[in-house]
Structure 1
Amino acid sequence: MSDTSASDPQAGQAPDRSAKSAPGDRATAGPFDESEANAVRPYVDLGGVKIVPRPDLHLRLEVEEGSKRVVAVGLDYAGSTLQVQPFAAPRSSGLWHEIREQIIEQIHKQGGNTKLIEGTFGPEVLAEIPVAAGTQPAGTRLARFIGVDGPRWFLRGVIAGEGVLNPDAAAKIEALFRSIVVVRGNSPMPPRDLIPLHMPSAGTDTSKTPPGRA
């Protein structure tokens, strides 16, 4: 994988860094705003996001050691892992173009490589990231960085495992990302602030598939 610049893979032109980046059918196919979600569907409520339960889905919450706050949601499904984080965003502009450039810069500083591709959700970053064991390099791992700008929120995803290169596995993990509901809330929040996440209620089962669209 060769290094690429942080420009967008469209006509060789850099994008408007303040423009929203999202699939044209986002409002009907996801990821959804809370106002767009199916009101009768059961979800696993994690605060800033809601997840559709389904068979063989394993959910992990990533907790910041110092503050003990939940900072990301990890989902293991169909041979892939998906890490998601919801952030506050401006009403009329997006964050993904700028954040994508920063991700590329950070990976290059780590000695990794990146490739900009056009994916299901628009521009995304395919990255080869060094993995260290102690102080000695121990190889690399592949990951896809995806992002969607919604109404007053931005949802970032990192895909690893089979969903990076296997088309069938990619379709399954992308459908999972599509089904996520972002709960922005009405409280004022600076752009880029993490929308608060919390533990699911006791006894929540992530394996039960609700009726209707998955």
Structure 2
Amino acid sequence: MVFRRRRGAAETPSDPTPGQQPAPAPEGPARESGPWDAADSYPQADRVDLGGLHLPIGPDFEVQLQVAGEQIVGALVLAHESALQLHAFAAPKKSGLWDDLRVELARDVESAKGTVEETEGPFGTELHAVVPQQNGPSAPIRYIGVDGPRWFLRAVITGRAAVDPNAAAVLEGVVREVVVVRGDDPMAPREGIPLQLPPEARQALEEQSEDKGYDPYERGPEITETR
């Protein structure tokens, strides 16, 4: 399943729903940029609603869904010979996850005979790693973590954007426009925030299934925004 906006399409905001105002920001310091919490007064933009994540749609990148069995577990953004993986998790009320997860990630990279270092990036402390590959040269990986109110967003950049700031600009812009919808249901820390297909994609798959039977290994229909 691929989501992208056609080049040249009008930049009319579509998130939140027309006629609705963004929810008021919670008490405390206002965020200057995203990723945003659903309760923040975040800027309007074209976004695809995946339930737990609302992801921007733009002409310079495409969004694909990562599926495990019948469950959507994350999103993949492709741009400029690079990829951005996004996953959202529940987090404790009074503490974040990123400090502990950085230690675990660094240990995993070193166990794989790779190298890793902490550095300051646009979203705070992040990890830059180089990991050996079985069938090719070592691959650079950039791990970004953002602690939000009762949620944690993990962003993993690979490819050219992991080492080239110019190539990374588009993917960093995607992270800044993400809206995380944690919901009020009780969830264990580190449990994945549920994702789902937007209504138009579900309808397209239902129509495809009725016409010729659904093959989960086929590439799904492209959802292109037209105005």
TM bucket by the smaller chain?
Answer: 0.7 to 0.9
Corresponding residue SS for 1:92 = coil
3-state SS, counterpart of residue 36 of structure 1: coil
Alpha-carbon distance in 2 for matches of 1:141, 1:206 = 32
Q: CA RMSD in A?
A: 2.2
- The TM-score with structure 2 as length reference comes to 0.72
TM-score for the superposition, normalised by structure 1: 0.76
Letter in 2 for 1:150: G
Contact 2:60/2:170 (8 A) holds in 1: no
Instruction: Tell me if the contact between 1:89 and 1:192 (Cα under 8 Å) persists in the aligned partners.
Output: yes
Q: Is 1:124 paired with 2:126?
A: yes
- State the shift of 1:91 in Å: 1.7
Choose from 70, 80, 83 the match for 2:82.
80
CA shift for structure 1 position 190: 0.7
In 2: Cα distance, 1:55 partner to 1:167 partner = 19
Q: CA 1:56 to 1:26, structure 2 compared with 1: closer, same or farther past 3 Å? A: farther
Give the SS at the match of 1:55: coil
- Compare 143-152 and 68-77 and name the one that shifted more: 68-77
In structure 1, the partner of 2:150 is 152
Cα distance in 1 for residues equivalent to 2:120 and 2:83: 20
Residue 195 of structure 2: aligned partner: 197
Q: Relative to 1, partners in 2 of residues 1:40 and 1:143: Cα closer, same or farther, differing over 3 Å? A: closer
TM superposition shift of 1:26: 7.4
- For 1:43 and 1:179, the matched residues in 2 are separated by 9
Distance 1:106 1:200, change over 3 A: same
Q: Please name the residue that 2:169 is paired with.
A: 171
Partner SS for 1:93: coil
**1:206 Cα shift?**
5.9
Q: Which residue of 2 aligns with 1:69?
A: 71
Matched, 1:50 2:54: yes
Q: Which has the higher contact order (CA 8 A, sep 6+)?
A: 1
Name the structure 2 match of 1:99: 101
The structure-2 alpha-carbon separation of the partners of 1:150 and 1:206, relative to structure 1 and needing over 3 Å to count, comes to farther
Matched, 1:60 2:60: no
One of 29, 37, 40 as aligned partner of 1:33: 37
Give the Å deviation of 1:29. 0.8
| C-alpha distance in 2 between matches for 1:88 and 1:41 | 25
Q: Distance in 1 between matches of 2:85 and 2:138?
A: 18
- Equivalent in the alignment of 1:19: none
Supply the AA of the counterpart residue of 2:66: E
CA contact (8 A) 2:34 2:176 kept: yes
Aligned to 2:39, the other structure's residue is in SS state helix
| Cα distance between partner residues in 2 of 1:141 and 1:201 | 37
**C-alpha distance in 2 between matches for 1:167 and 1:40:** 26
Indicate the SS of the match to 1:91. Answer: coil
1:55–1:208 Cα contact (<8 Å) kept = no
Contact 1:127 1:143 in 2 (8 A): yes
Q: Which entry has the higher C-alpha Rg, 1 or 2?
A: 2
- Which runs of no fewer than 5 residues in structure 2 stay unpaired? 1-28, 202-221
Give the AA of the match of 1:85.
Answer: H
* Alpha carbons 1:37, 1:181 under 8 Å: kept: no
In 2, the alpha carbon distance for the partners of 1:100 and 1:43 equals: 29
Unaligned 5+ segments in structure 1 are 1-24, 210-214
SS at match of 1:28: coil
Distance in 2 between the 1:143 and 1:206 partners? 30
How far off is 1:116 after superposition? Answer: 1.2
Pairwise CA distance, 1:39: 7.8
